[in-house]
Structure 1
Amino acid sequence: MGTDLYRDGMARLDAGDVAEARRLLEEALRKSPGDVAVMHGLSRVLDQAGERARSVELLEHAHARAPSEPGPAHDLAMALLEREEDVRAVQVLTPVLEAHPEDTRAHLFMAMALAKSDAARARIHTAKALMDSDPDVKLQAQALDDVLAEHQRLS
């Protein structure tokens, strides 16, 4: 893989230089067309550049190559949830959780995907997401769990 190009591209992205990050990651992808990490990095750049459709397309390719890889699946699931494609988000997250049952972010996103159709199953996932060390993930999981609990109480 174009490891240096990838690393430099991600560093440029973290520094806010989207144009240079894009140049480096596109070059890295040309050198390593099947590299999932490069596809994922470039999809993040494209999203920040306002090219959401191309970003999601690249996430779809990355997910197809490595369905249990958490990073691309997380981002793809969120894009699908934004488009209210909850069933597809569940399909994307299932292999990640099978391979990485401790992935608390995947549990949070799965809870979001299940929230409208299966509150009880969604709450199983919020409970697991609450174990994340990131306070933002915990806060989101708790807020979702509170809504789901209220929904179950009223049902």
Structure 2
Amino acid sequence: MINITVLQSMLSTTEIKSPSPNQMKTLTLTDLVIMNKLSVSFREQIEKYVDVDPFTTHDPFHENDDYEYSLILDKTNTSRVVSILATKKEFTSQISWDSLLGNQFVRLSISKTEAGALKYELMPKDTNNFYPFRQSTRISGYIMFAYQICGLHQ
């Protein structure tokens, strides 16, 4: 029988942590190219479940918003952010994340503060970085893709 402390230790070493804004500053051009390619692939996958609007709109980081924030990361290198999502709480349970993410991606829930800081490093433009996405014509949330990156914050 395995000791519970050993099991907890094993699980904690595999825990995925959110990349920090400082880690974004160390991304290489190769990382950005990979993030770009993966984000195009992720958009194709998520569009099987939702309709992504063709135009961006305001960033979702409002004081009293009711969104759950998450990152889609490259499973092979979790410092590569593929997408940032702000989803309405009822939407999160309506999607089959396992089939959407497959073997390429991992989804990580984060705080609004963390999401805002990472967005600022990846997309220094103050607003209009997120695409609304819909299910049954109702906006279910907002999404930003790494292919939108045109320069990191200096």
Higher strand share: 2
* TM-score normalised by structure 1 residue count: 0.25
Q: Which of the pair is proportionally richer in helix?
A: 1
For CA contacts below 8 A with separation 6 or more, give which structure has more relative contact order. Answer: 2
Given the two structures, how large is their TM-score scaled by the length of structure 2?
0.25
